[in-house]
Amino acid sequence: VNHLIMDLTLHRPGEHFFIRSAGKEGIVVTDELYCNSLVLSAESVVPEWPVASVSELGPEHLQPIFDLDPEVVILGTGDTQAFPPPQLVMKFYEKGIGFEAMTTEAACRTFNVLVSEERKVVAALIHER
């Protein structure tokens, strides 16, 4: 099994952003490769999100996520599932936003499914170098 790249979809489902693949080289959103962590909704890409690991995630990193007005946030935590401190997770619940943490690969797949269901989802994807 090739773990270097995971193709998620070959066609463009509608007029919104979607994740085509994720791997060590980066995350391909529609037709563009991003080599750093990013925040993504169906309508917006926030490149260069300055978070390289869950341990670096702080309250100052959440505003770009909140600015996209999500109903649910999926945090992609890299190759291993990890959880941010409970006080950070509470910031989502205080705003009535659902929150899930999973590997970045799983977050990419979940994002595509929720976008296809027209959910107001934001993926905050940590890309480990």
In the chain, the percentage of residues whose pLDDT exceeds 90 is 79
Q: What is the pLDDT of residue 81?
A: 96
The predicted pLDDT at position 5 comes to: 44
d(CA 61, CA 79): 20
Tell me the pLDDT band of 14, cut-offs 50, 70 and 90: low
- Cβ–Cβ under 8 Å, residues 33 and 27: yes
For residue 90, which phi and psi values (nearest 5 degrees)?
-60, -30
Q: Give the model's pLDDT for residue 16.
A: 85
Residue 8 has pLDDT above 80, yes or no: no
Residue 3 above 70 pLDDT?
no
What pLDDT, in 10s, does the model give residues 98-113?
Answer: 999 999 999 999 999 9
Work out the burial of residue 18: count CB atoms within 10 Å of its CB; fewer than 13 is exposed, 13-18 middle, 19 or more buried.
Answer: buried
44 with 69: CB under 8 angstroms? no
- What percent of the chain stands above pLDDT 70? 88
Backbone angles phi, psi at 20, to 5 degrees: -80, -40
Dihedral of alpha carbons 9, 43, 93, 58, sign:
positive
Q: In the predicted model, what is the mean pLDDT of residues 33-41? A: 96
- pLDDT band at residue 59 using 50, 70 and 90 as cut-offs: very high
Backbone CA torsion sign across 79, 77, 53, 7: positive
- pLDDT of amino acid 39: 98
